[in-house]
Structure 1
Amino acid sequence: MICAVYKSRRKADSYLFIEKRNEFERVPEALLEMFGEAELVMMLPLSKRDHLGFADINKVKSELKEKGYYLQLPPPKVNLLEAHKKEIGYSRD
């Protein structure tokens, strides 16, 4: 299985995996609008790989078969100061 991987020019670190190059028919219109202009990054042979960088390869393959696309978003940013305050039990009260 080979898929096309596109990056968003609007949303940093967001990638859209689709079944075939330039075939966005199965991707919802609202998602395409949010994603913005898609720039081809690579053609990726999934059948020859055991893992991907940040995405679960089995989930990518499954969603490509079921939905025709897989959207990879960056992990949410953690506010380290707030996490530290919570960890030490700091309160302004």
Structure 2
Amino acid sequence: MHCYVYASQRKSDTYLWLGRRDDFACIPESLALMLGELRFALEVELTGQRKLPLEDAQQVLKHLQQQGWHLQMPPPHSLATANHPAYMSTPQDRGGKH
């Protein structure tokens, strides 16, 4: 299946997969509001056997066939570390150089 992937400009590391290019009418309004502006990122031929770094290709295909879209969220560990104090401090706070 030919797929089109869009990056959310509002939600870091969040991607919307579509079965048809620029077919945003198929996504729920609440999802469109959450994602904000979308930037075209990738066009790919997807099969159930294709290996994807963060998603299960068969699950993506299932969602595309059933609803016309698939939402790829950031991996859980990136969400957890985003608010960790060690990642929020400045280099000076960690004893690093200016």
Q: Deviations over 1:33-71 (max 9, x none)?
A: 100100000111003862111011000000000011000
- Do residues 67 (structure 1) and 67 (structure 2) align? yes
Q: When the two structures are aligned, how many residues end up with a matched partner?
A: 81
Amino acid at match of 1:44: V
- Do residues 3 (structure 1) and 12 (structure 2) align? no
TM-score relative to the length of structure 2: 0.75
Aligned to 1:24: 24
TM-score relative to the length of structure 1: 0.79
Amino acid at match of 2:31: L
Where in structure 2 are the equivalents of 1:1-93 lying within 5 Å? 1-47=1-47, 50-76=50-76, 77-78=79-80
CA-atom RMSD in angstroms: 1.9
- Structure 1 residues 37 and 45 mapped into 2: Cα distance closer, same or farther (>3 Å)? same
- Gaps (5+ residues) in structure 1? 82-93
Secondary structure of the 2:75 match is coil
- Gaps (5+ residues) in structure 2? 86-98
Amino acid at match of 1:6: Y
Runs of at least 4 residues off by over 2 Å: 75-81
In 2: Cα distance, 1:13 partner to 1:70 partner: 14
- Structure 1 residues 44 and 66 mapped into 2: Cα distance closer, same or farther (>3 Å)? same
In 2: Cα distance, 1:29 partner to 1:78 partner: 27
